[in-house]
Structure 1
Amino acid sequence: MAKVTANDLLERFNLELIAGEEGIYRPITTSDLSRPGIEMAGYFTYYPAKRLQLLGRTELSFFEHLKQHEKEERMLKLCTYDTPGIILSRGLEVPSELIEAAEKVGVPLMRSNMPTTRLSSSITTYLESELAPMTAVHGVLVDIYGIGVLITGNSGVGKSETALDLVRRGHRLVADDSVEIRQENEGTLVGRSPDLIQHLLEIRGLGIINVMTLFGAGAVRPYKRIVLCIHLELWDQNKAYDRLGLDEEKMKIIDTEITKLTVPVRPGRNLAVIIEVAAMNYRLKRLGYDAAQEFSSRLTDVIEEADHDEFR
C-alpha cells in the first residue's frame, strides 16, 4: 500500500499550510473524510480521529456561536496525535483556537479555496486511488482496442517482442516487465508502469528502447484498467489446449477475477495477431456474441436433427 501524507495533499491540491508543519509527514491510512459537525457540538464519543477532518462553512459558523471556553475545549479535542490533518474549505478564516491547538499537537492545518463538496470529492478520489490495495505482476500491459490486456509468461517466452509488434500495429503500451496493479474499486484493477521504467521496452539482442520516443506519444498511456490476461507458454505436445473456447478460465489478482487465456507459443505463430483477435473476441463476448456458444448450438441442432431423422 502506498504511503500518503499531508505533504502530498499540500502539493497535489495546492493547499495553504496554516499551522502544524511538524506533522505534515503523518501517514493518512484511510480515504474516508470526516466533517466533525457533531463534534463541534461536544459529542466526541465516536470521533474518527484517524481520518482527515474537513471543516466547511457550516461547521465554522456553528463554532462561532460557542462560548470561549467551549471553543478552546472543542479544538483541543479535535486535534489529536492520531489526526493526520485538518482542512478548511472556501478560503475561510481560521479560528485562533484551532491554530493554537494544531500547533500544540503538531496536526497539519491546511486551507483550500475550493468549495467544500468539490474538495471532499477530489481528495476522496485521490486517496482511494493512492491507498488502494496494490501488487506487482511480472508481465506486459497493452491497451488493445480499448481492452486492457495483461500478457504474462515465463522469462524469454516473447512477451516484450509481442508488445513491440502490437505497438507497431497501432496499440498502446502501458507497462513492460513489471506492472503495478491497484484494486481501486471492487472488481476494478488498474495497471500502470513503475516510474523508473515508464515507456521503456526491453528487447533481447537489441536492448532497451523508448517506445514514446520511437513511435510517438500516441503509442503509450500512463494507466489502463485490466480485464483480460493472455498467458504465453511454450508449446507442450502432451498438453490439451482449449480449441473451442467454451470454458472460460479465471485469474485472481488481489480480490478480483479476470478472464485468462493460455496461448501456446511455437515458431510460425503470429502472437500479436492472436492477442489482437483475442481482445476483439473478448469485446464481442461482452456485447453478447459468443462464437463458441453459437458453434455449440449449431452442432447440437445438427445432432438433434440427425437423431430425429434416424427415428422417423
Structure 2
Amino acid sequence: MDSAQREALDDVMVQTFSKIQFREQEELADRINQDSGSLPFLSKSLKKLVPFQLPRSKKEHREPKEKKINILIPLSRRFDILVRFMGICEKTCLIPNQNVRLIVLFFSSDSNPDKAKQVELMRDYRVKYPKADMQILPASGEFSRALALEVGSSQFNNESPLFFCDVDLVFTTEFLSCYGANTVLGQQIYFPIIFSGDPKIVYSGKVPSDNHFAFTQKTGFWRNYGFGITYIYKGDLVQVGGFDVSIQGWGLEDVDLFSKAVQAGLKTFRSQEVGVVHTQHLVFCDPNLDPKQYKMCLGSKHMGLHSSWLKCG
C-alpha cells in the first residue's frame, strides 16, 4: 500500500470517527463502503469492520492448558480511576488466582502529580498478593500510548498473548479467557467492539453496584470504530511492524495498528463483546495534538455527548 492509499485509509477512519449524527450499525457500515467506493482495496478490507455477534465459544473448545494472559496498561494521571481498575483486577484476577501478568506503564517525564500515589497503590497490591505477577515499568519522555505498549510488549517472547487494555475498562473473568478462541498466532488478531456505558445513566444517580453490564441505547453505545482494546500475540505484533512510536498522546495508534494488520494479510476478528465495558468519562481534546488525532478525539467526544443527549431526549 503506497502513501496515498494509506492516507486515504486514515482519512476514511477519521471521517467515520468524526460523525456526530447517530446511525444504526448497518448504516455506519454502508457509509464506510460508500466513502471507499473509489478504492477497491479499501472497500474490501473495511468490510471486515461490519459489526456482528457470534456466540461465545464454550470452555471445552479452549486449549487444554491456557497460556498466561499479559495485560498492558498505559497510564497517565487519573489516580482515582486506577484505584477502581485495580479493584476490578482484584476481583477478576487476583482473588480467583487467574494466570495473568499485569504491567502498568508510567512515563517519567509526564507531569503527573499523582504518580507517587499510583506507585504506592501498586506496591500495596504486590504486598497483599505476593504471588501475583504484577510489575510497574517506566518509559522515558512525554506520554505516548504507542510507546508505552511497545515498551511493555518488549518484555515478552513471540508466543506470548498480549492484551492491550485501558484503565477505564470493567471486565469479567470470562472476557480475559476469550483470546484462546478469538486470537490465533500467525493468523488472527482480536479487536473486540466495546460498549461505552455512562454510569450516571446506568445507576440513575444512585451508588454504583457491581453490575456495569447494561447494554441499551439509553445506557451507552458500541464503539464500532475503536480499535484500542486488542488481543494479539507478540509475534504478530512484530510481523505487522509494531506501533508507530512517533504518535504522541492518545489516539490514532490503534487505527494505525489495525491498518497494518490488514496490510499484512492477518485476519482481524471483530464482535460485540459483552464481557467488558468502557466507562465513559469527560474527554479533553488537546488542540496541540496532531490534526488527525485531534479530529478523531473530537469525534469520539461528540459520540459520547450525542449518546447522552439521546438519553435525555
Query: Structure 1 length normalisation: TM-score?
Result: 0.19
Q: Which has the higher strand share?
A: 1
Higher-Rg member (1/2): 1
TM-score (norm 2): 0.19
Q: As a proportion of its length, which structure holds more helix?
A: 2
